Amino acid sequence: MECKLVNLSNDNVGIAQLNPLIFSVEQKLSILYDVVRWQLAKRRVGTHKTKGISDISGTTAKPYSQKRTGRARQGSLRSPQFRGGGIIFGPVVRSYAYSLNKKVRKFGLKIALSLKYSNNQVVVLDNLDIDVKKTSEMCKYIKNFKFSSFLIVGDYGDNLLYAARNLHYVNLIKPIGLNVFDILNHECVMLTSGALKHLEGRLL
């Protein structure tokens, strides 16, 4: 599979070879659902917590006698029926992460890339070695491509990162961090030639 190789000015500089085992696989949307759900579950921060009866500060003494008071029997003032008492079956600190097979995760990444390629939303860049220090300069490069949001994958320098971080529709990511959720969350995926080699070693 052949694809145009361009620079950030959208000038054609050659031909890039795309592996059909990565960019032309069967599109199973159920796999994408499973992978995105797994990613979002890992991102959840389960720090919600309420105080149970053992977490409430207070005496452990019985508030009054068991019998002969005419009142309901009570064993602790920290019980949930009292003001300031504990919460029964409240949320506790936990992790929402769960495991997903590596084959499914790899297949999901292939499907996401294939989906973008079939919709002509994959751009292959020669490199990211440009002298950009201002956000306005980065905007001029991005305007050469007619998409609403961009995920740029490759080895970039700090100057490029600083120039792009104020653009909410442009995200930079290293090849090792490429994932299904970010691919689907951006209209255009820009891959450098180095990122293509990394993907072949990672997915094949």
Per-residue model confidence (pLDDT) at position 131: 86
pLDDT digits (tens, 9 = 90+) for 12-38: 888 999 999 999 999 999 999 999 999
Read off the pTM.
0.84
Q: Which of helix, strand or coil describes residue 108?
A: helix
The domain 2-43+99-203: what is its CATH number?
3.40.1370.10
Amino acid 130: pLDDT: 85
Q: What is the mean pLDDT of residues 54-71?
A: 93
Domain segments of the chain: what residues? 2-43+99-203, 45-95
Residue 133: its pLDDT value, please? 86
| pLDDT, average across residues 71-80 | 94
Contacts of residue 177, Cβ cutoff 8 Å, sequence gap at least 6: none
pLDDT classification of 1: cutoffs 50, 70, 90? confident
Give residue-wise pLDDT tens across range 171-193. Answer: 999 999 999 999 999 999 999 99
The pLDDT score that the predictor gives to residue 117 is: 95
Residues 6+ apart with CB under 8 A from 174: 153, 154, 155
Widest distance between CA atoms in the chain: 95
Residue 129: per-residue pLDDT = 87
Distance CA 92, CA 90 (A): 7
- pLDDT band at residue 65 using 50, 70 and 90 as cut-offs: very high
> Do residues 133 and 164 make contact, with C-beta atoms less than 8 angstroms apart?
no
Q: Is the pLDDT of residue 151 over 90?
A: yes
Sheet holding 2-6, edge to edge: 12-17, 2-6, 122-125, 188-192, 150-153, 170-173
Q: pLDDT tier at 61 (50, 70, 90 boundaries)?
A: very high
Concatenating the DSSP letter of every residue in 65-103 gives -SSSSSS---S-TTSTTSTT-PPTT------------HH
- Mean pLDDT value across residues 113-126: 94
